[in-house]
Copies of this chain bind each other. A is one copy, B any other.
Amino acid sequence: MDDEQLHAMRHSLAHITAAAIQRIWPDAKFGVGPVVENGFYYDIDLGEKKISEANFAKIEKAMRGIIDYGDNFEKFEMPIDQAIEWAKENNQPYKEELLNDLKRSGTTVAKDLDVDELGLAAGADTAVENVSFYQNGKFVDLCRGPHVANTKDVGVFKLMRVAGAYWRGKETNPQMQRLYGVAFETQEQLDTYLELLEQAKLRDHRKLGKELDLYTVSNLVGAGLPLFTPRGTVLRDIMAQYSNQLRQAHGFNKVFTPHITKTALYEASGHWAKFGDELFLVTSQETDDNFALKPMNCPHHTQIYASRPRSYKDMPIRYLETTTDYRDEKTGELGGLNRVRSLTQDDSHVFCRDDQIEAEINGLLASARELYGKIGMQLRVRLSYRDEGEGYLGEASLWESAQAQLKAAVIANELNYFEQEGEAAFYGPKIDFMATDALGREHQVATVQLDFVQPQRFGLTYTDADSQSRQPVMIHCALLGSIERFLSVFIEHTGGWFPLWAAPEQVRILTINDTVLDYVEEIEAVLRSTVLMQPVKFNELRFTRDDRNESLGKKIREATSWKIPVQLIVGPQDKESREVSVRTQSGEEKVSLDRLTDYLMSM
Contact yes or no, A232 B260, CB < 8 A: no
Q: Size band of the A side of the interface?
A: 35 or more
Cβ-based interface call for A324 (8 A): yes
The DSSP consensus for interface residues of chain A is mixed
Cβ-based interface call for A26 (8 A): no
Cβ-based interface call for A385 (8 A): no
Cβ-based interface call for A303 (8 A): yes
Minimum CB–CB distance from A308 to chain B (whole Å) comes to 7
Interface residues of A in 272-303 (CB under 8 A from B): 277-287, 289, 291, 293, 299-300, 303
Chain B residues, Cβ within 8 Å of A329: 286
Chain B residues, Cβ within 8 Å of A319: 230
User: In the bound complex, how far is the Cα of B262 from the Cα of A280, in angstroms?
Assistant: 13
Contact yes or no, B259 A213, CB < 8 A: no
Select which of B219, B280, B285 is within 8 A of A260 by beta carbon: B280
Chain B's closest residue to A301 (CB) is: B227
User: In the bound complex, how far is the Cα of B265 from the Cα of A261, in angstroms?
Assistant: 24
Interface residues of A in 101-126 (CB under 8 A from B): none
Cβ-based interface call for A220 (8 A): yes
Minimum CB–CB distance from A508 to chain B (whole Å) comes to 16
Cβ-based interface call for A255 (8 A): yes
User: In the bound complex, how far is the Cα of B279 from the Cα of A306, in angstroms?
Assistant: 30
User: In the bound complex, how far is the Cα of B325 from the Cα of A258, in angstroms?
Assistant: 9
Contact A268 B220, CB 8 Å, known A230-B254, A255-B230 = yes
Chain B residues, Cβ within 8 Å of A228: 255-257, 304
Minimum CB–CB distance from A337 to chain B (whole Å) comes to 12
Contact yes or no, A221 B285, CB < 8 A: no
Cβ-based interface call for A237 (8 A): yes
Contact yes or no, A285 B278, CB < 8 A: yes
Contact yes or no, A286 B330, CB < 8 A: yes
Contact yes or no, A293 B282, CB < 8 A: yes
Minimum CB–CB distance from A254 to chain B (whole Å) comes to 5
Contact yes or no, A258 B324, CB < 8 A: yes
Contact yes or no, B254 A324, CB < 8 A: no
Interface residues of A in 234-262 (CB under 8 A from B): 234, 236-237, 253-262
Contact yes or no, B285 A342, CB < 8 A: no
Cβ-based interface call for A326 (8 A): yes
Interface residues of A in 291-336 (CB under 8 A from B): 291, 293, 299-300, 303-304, 306-308, 319, 324, 326, 328-331
Looking at A234, A260, A265, A308, the one whose CB has the most chain B CB atoms below 10 A away is A260
Interface residues of A in 64-102 (CB under 8 A from B): none
Looking at A233, A234, A531, the one whose CB has the most chain B CB atoms below 10 A away is A233
Chain B residues, Cβ within 8 Å of A230: 253-255, 319
Minimum CB–CB distance from A121 to chain B (whole Å) comes to 39
Chain B's closest residue to A228 (CB) is: B256
Contact yes or no, B258 A225, CB < 8 A: yes
User: In the bound complex, how far is the Cα of B282 from the Cα of A228, in angstroms?
Assistant: 22
User: In the bound complex, how far is the Cα of B268 from the Cα of A331, in angstroms?
Assistant: 22
Contact A237 B220, CB 8 Å, known A260-B326, A304-B227 = no
Contact yes or no, A283 B286, CB < 8 A: no
Chain B's closest residue to A299 (CB) is: B220
Contact yes or no, A303 B260, CB < 8 A: no
Minimum CB–CB distance from A265 to chain B (whole Å) comes to 4
Chain B residues, Cβ within 8 Å of A279: 285
Contact yes or no, B303 A216, CB < 8 A: yes
Contact yes or no, A328 B537, CB < 8 A: no
User: In the bound complex, how far is the Cα of B299 from the Cα of A287, in angstroms?
Assistant: 26
Chain B residues, Cβ within 8 Å of A221: 257-258, 261-262, 265, 300, 303
**12 A-B pairs, CB-CB below 8 angstroms?**
A216-B307, A220-B261, A221-B257, A227-B257, A230-B255, A233-B254, A237-B254, A258-B341, A259-B293, A260-B341, A279-B285, A293-B293
Give me the interface of A with B, judged by CB distance under 8 Å.
213, 216, 218-222, 225-230, 232-234, 236-237, 253-262, 264-265, 268, 277-287, 289, 291, 293, 299-300, 303-304, 306-308, 319, 324, 326, 328-331, 341-342, 344, 531, 537-538
